[in-house]
Copies of this chain bind each other. A is one copy, B any other.
Amino acid sequence: MTEQLTSDRILAAAEDVLRRFGLAKATVVDVARALGVSHGSVYRHFPSKAALRDAVTERWLVGVSDPLRAVAEADRPATERLRHWLDTLIAAKQTKAREDPELFATYIALTEEAREVVGRHVATLAGQLAGIVADGVASGEFAPVDTALAGRALLDATGRFHNPAHAGEWADPGIDAAFEAVWSLVLSGLAARG
């Protein structure tokens, strides 16, 4: 008997097939072939192609949000953590977009079809930011605010620099200066008076 077929092995194969063929050309039969099984077997682990697609998307988004959690929870001043967190998110997205545009385009297409999964991802990110803001308020670095709303506001306000919908603008020459301007605006917005 060859190795047991698991959801994890299917997901890995699906990622590989997506990387090689792109979203439009990747089929369930391709994934099954890559694993040396019939496509019927894939359907014992995922109820539909859409479910498999969503699972791949979730895996990718967890790969983005997981490293950020460590940054959000580091033992450093809230301002510094906030900046590091944004830099990390922005670098992760922009580097992927620059270094493998085709694969990045595949992931953008995936996320467009998995709005629910993306919604949870965005909530996760906003929650991490809310945590940083809460710490900053507690330490007196930031003025008191509704931390959940402020976390979401920070994510929204910086969207141009990490939201894939704006990927086409990331090559603009002024993009770094634009981020610095937004950063200084929102940082003064958070900062405690005096």
Binary flags per residue of A157-194, CB closer than 8 Å to B gives 1, else 0: 11110000110100000000110111011111110011
Contact A149-B181, Cβ < 8 Å, known A156-B160, A159-B159, A160-B159 = yes
A64 within 8 A of B: no
User: Contacts A143-B188, A185-B150: A178 and B166 contacting too (C-beta < 8 A)?
Assistant: no
**By DSSP majority rule, is chain A's interface helix, strand, loop, or mixed?**
helix
Are the CB atoms of B143 and A181 closer together than 8 Å?
A: no
* Contact in complex: A182, B166 (CB < 8 Å): no
Query: Quick one: which of B115, B154, B159, B178 contacts A185, CB cutoff 8 A?
Result: B154
Interface of chain A residues 116 through 159 with chain B (CB within 8 A): 143, 145-146, 149-150, 152-154, 156-159
CB closest chain-B residue, reference A157: B157
Q: How far is the CB of A116 from chain B (nearest CB, A)?
A: 13
Shortest distance between the CB of A73 and any CB in chain B (Å): 23
Q: Is B165 in contact with A182, judged by CB distance below 8 angstroms?
A: no
In the complex with contacts A186-B189, A188-B143, A188-B188, A178-B152 CB distance below 8 A: yes
Contact yes or no, B181 A153, CB < 8 A = yes
Distance from A19 Cβ to chain B, minimum over Cβ atoms (Å): 26
Query: Of A149, A156, A186, A188, which is in contact with the most chain B CB atoms at under 10 Å from its CB?
Result: A156
Given contacts A145-B184, A156-B182, 12 further A-B contacts (CB under 8 A): A149-B181, A153-B178, A153-B181, A156-B157, A156-B160, A157-B182, A157-B186, A159-B160, A165-B165, A165-B166, A188-B190, A193-B193
